[in-house]
């Protein structure tokens, strides 16, 4: 197929990947003069409506996901009976290739984990479960930013899958127990697979190995969850426990949502470098037996990890039990820096896109990179904005923005990345090279903060290099 022209536009240059359902090629888009990736369904599946529908569903699914850490869908179509999807082309290796050099530094592993979790959380909030989370499906840009790809077996959490009940999908090294049994999956299935990935990022090895798919899947079903600390002693205890909880055999014992896992990883990241703080422990949630769905197979005995109560951070203790008044680790909320993560553009009066692929650069810790708005010939909107997520609900007191002068801004806050947002910084401020906004949340805490900006009437373009905040 090399050299073929698809849709009179995409010239196939190089085979860059091959899977059970499709081949992926690097291609040249003659219309826009750029490289793209094009996935072509294998010819033998083109007459099978189930495979074709799954392939089409991938395109529809990913087309909904405008996120800096998810590969963008550009086009979809059919050529001579062959289905194809066109994606942005990511120049670089995948995360599995990076792991061929061994385990990553703890902070780098956490950064990758947070970015991938953020992408999956974005998908989950739009009703999609990936179902094949693995390092091979995370591409790394030349700048080292991860992008999740291959939603080929993704499914909506509120519709029936086109695959038959009992069919096992996924990769055995990262497969969740309920997925291996062919049972219903939800967002906690992706949490398990991401937990396996975190284990591999931190140790350089997958937790279970075997001679074939079934041997590995059986270990995911029955074997105890291994400890990262057994293979690497410099990993904080809290992070080890977070990985174990993500990999709990029973979905009810995992984090309830990807957002909850992000919260815990943010805390682990914030505690790096402090021996005392790094050993703080979070109690797993109590089991909700009354609401747990019935199993198709006998319940696999679950290994409970019992930890002795320990005095941590001046008297906070860890306990297990079903009593509603069981204490958990006391959360401190001192005044200090808060690490924000840029998660999306906010353009309710336009097309909901403002250079989405560059959003992460507003909070990447580097003042040499920037997020920018579109370039306007005239600016008649009420405003456009950049959505920032705090690691937890907080009441910020100050937000500082490094930017290129030439526009006005104010800060708003809300409980959802899509709004509504309330003003928390007062009137519009002229943005200078470094601008600090004083924030008054009136004692209310928020998870999301919005840099709401407006350009001069004659238009222009806003550049934001870095955003920092503190409580």
Q: Which residues are catalytic?
A: 142
Q: Token digits for 395?
A: 């009441």
CA distance linking residue 116 with residue 197, whole number of Å:
10
Q: Token digits for 195?
A: 């937990």
- Residue pair 323/300 in contact by the 8 Å Cβ criterion: no
CA distance linking residue 185 with residue 157, whole number of Å:
8
Adjacent-strand bridge partners of 73? 87
CA distance linking residue 167 with residue 27, whole number of Å:
33
Handedness of CA 287, 290, 291, 293 (dihedral sign): positive
Q: Which value, in Å, is the radius of gyration of the alpha carbons in the chain? A: 23
DSSP state of 70: B
CA distance linking residue 197 with residue 183, whole number of Å:
22
Burial environment of residue 264 by CB neighbours within 10 A (0 to 12, 13 to 18, 19 or more): buried
DSSP 294-358: PPSSPPPPP---------BTTTB----SS-TT---PPPP--SSEE--EEEEEE-TTTTS-SSGGG
CA distance linking residue 424 with residue 19, whole number of Å:
50
Q: How many helices (DSSP H) and strands (DSSP E) are in the chain?
A: 8, 21
Closest to 329 (Cα-Cα) out of 369, 281, 393 = 281
């Amino acid at each position: 197929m090399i050299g073929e022209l698809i849709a009179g536009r995409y010239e196939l240059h190089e085979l860059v990947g091959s899977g059970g359902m499709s081949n992926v090629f690097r291609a040249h888009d003659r219309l826009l003069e750029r490289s793209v990736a094009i996935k072509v369904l294998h010819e033998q599946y083109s007459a099978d409506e189930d495979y074709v529908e799954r392939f089409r569903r991938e395109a529809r699914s990913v087309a909904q996901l405008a996120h800096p850490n998810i590969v963008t869908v550009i086009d979809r179509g059919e050529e001579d009976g062959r289905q194809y999807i066109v994606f942005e082309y990511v120049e670089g290796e995948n995360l599995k290739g990076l792991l061929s050099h061994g385990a990553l530094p703890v902070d780098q592993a956490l950064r990758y984990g947070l970015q991938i979790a953020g992408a999956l959380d974005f998908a989950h909030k739009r009703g999609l479960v990936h179902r094949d989370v693995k390092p091979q499906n995370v591409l790394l840009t030349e700048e080292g930013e991860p992008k999740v790809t291959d939603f080929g077996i993704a499914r909506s959490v509120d519709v029936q899958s086109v695959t038959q009940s009992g069919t096992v999908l996924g990769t055995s090294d990262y497969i969740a127990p309920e997925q291996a049994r062919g049972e219903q999956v939800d967002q906690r299935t992706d949490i398990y697979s991401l937990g396996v990935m975190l284990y591999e990022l931190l140790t350089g090895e997958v937790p279970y190995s075997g001679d074939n798919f079934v041997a590995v899947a059986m270990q995911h079903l029955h074997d105890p969850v291994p400890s990262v600390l057994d293979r690497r002693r410099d990993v904080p205890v809290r992070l080890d426990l977070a990985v174990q909880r993500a990999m709990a055999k029973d979905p009810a014992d995992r984090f309830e949502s990807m957002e909850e896992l992000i919260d815990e990883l943010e805390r682990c990241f914030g505690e790096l470098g402090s021996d005392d703080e790094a050993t703080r422990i979070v109690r797993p949630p109590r089991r909700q037996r009354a609401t747990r769905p019935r199993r198709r197979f006998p319940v696999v005995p679950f290994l409970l990890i019992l930890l002795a109560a320990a005095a941590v951070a001046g008297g906070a203790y860890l306990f297990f039990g079903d009593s509603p008044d069981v204490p958990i680790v006391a959360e401190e909320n001192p005044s200090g820096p808060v690490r924000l993560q840029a998660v999306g553009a906010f353009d309710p009066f336009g097309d909901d896109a403002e250079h989405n692929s560059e959003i992460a650069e507003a909070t990447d810790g580097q003042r040499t990179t920037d997020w920018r708005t579109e370039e306007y010939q005239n600016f008649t909107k009420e405003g456009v904005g950049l959505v920032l997520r705090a690691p937890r609900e907080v009441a910020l007191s100050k937000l500082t923005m490094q930017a290129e002068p030439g526009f006005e801004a104010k800060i708003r806050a809300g409980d959802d990345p899509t709004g509504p947002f309330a003003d928390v910084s007062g009137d519009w401020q002229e943005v200078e090279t470094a601008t600090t906004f004083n924030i008054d949340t009136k004692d209310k805490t928020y998870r999301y903060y919005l840099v709401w900006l407006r350009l001069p009437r004659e238009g222009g373009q806003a550049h934001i290099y870095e955003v920092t905040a503190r409580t």
